[in-house]
């Protein structure tokens, strides 16, 4: 899978640039709307709690605030006790292609090798699907 668009037609480049710009705008919009949506979700959750637990709205709101504060506190404690956890994949164990019945495995590292291995596995997985649009492209190539 090659993502080098230097040989792409000008129309394709414009389409990709437009798609990227739309995605950036939608992302910015979702970031702007997130606090409002979260506030509305918490209000809806409080109303549902008040109805199902047969308590007052203030009591339901207090329960939600306590749960939110507990999450924040535990998050801080986790950070202090264990430090920052990088969320980046460092190593991956992949099978080595061989003709024998026994599968051999190797651990790979490095950004480029990991990226290539994951893309290859995803491509293989998507082409094996009966319902994925990628599977039709693979069948047309053969």
Q: Is the pLDDT of residue 131 over 80?
A: no
The per-residue b/e assignment along 95-105, b for 16 or more CB within 10 angstroms, e otherwise, is eeeeeeeeeee
The per-residue b/e assignment along 70-89, b for 16 or more CB within 10 angstroms, e otherwise, is eeeeeeeeeeeeeeeeeeee
Of 67-76, 96-105, 117-126, the poorest mean pLDDT is in 96-105
Domain boundaries, the chain: 10-82, 91-141
| Average pLDDT score over residue span 26-44 | 89
For residue 17 the two structure tokens come to 């640039």
Instruction: Render pLDDT for 47-91 as a digit per residue (tens, 0 to 9).
Output: 998 999 888 999 999 998 898 888 888 887 777 776 666 667 788
Angle (CA) 125 129 27, round 5°: 70
Q: Which of 68, 65, 63 is nearest to 53 (CA)?
A: 63
pLDDT score of 132: 59
């Amino acid at each position: 899978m090659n993502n080098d668009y230097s040989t792409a037609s000008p129309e394709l480049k414009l389409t990709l640039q437009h798609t990227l710009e739309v995605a950036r705008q939608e992302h910015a919009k979702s970031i702007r709307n997130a606090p409002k949506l979260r506030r509305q979700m918490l209000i809806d959750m409080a109303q549902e709690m008040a109805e199902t637990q047969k308590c007052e709205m203030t009591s339901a709101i207090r329960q939600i605030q306590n749960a939110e504060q507990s999450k924040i506190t535990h998050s801080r404690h986790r950070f202090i006790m264990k430090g920052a956890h990088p969320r980046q994949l460092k190593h991956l164990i992949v099978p080595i292609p061989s003709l024998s019945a026994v599968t051999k495995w190797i651990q790979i590292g490095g950004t480029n090798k990991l990226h290539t291995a994951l893309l290859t596995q995803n491509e293989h997985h998507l082409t094996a699907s009966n319902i994925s649009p990628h599977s039709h492209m693979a069948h047309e190539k053969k």
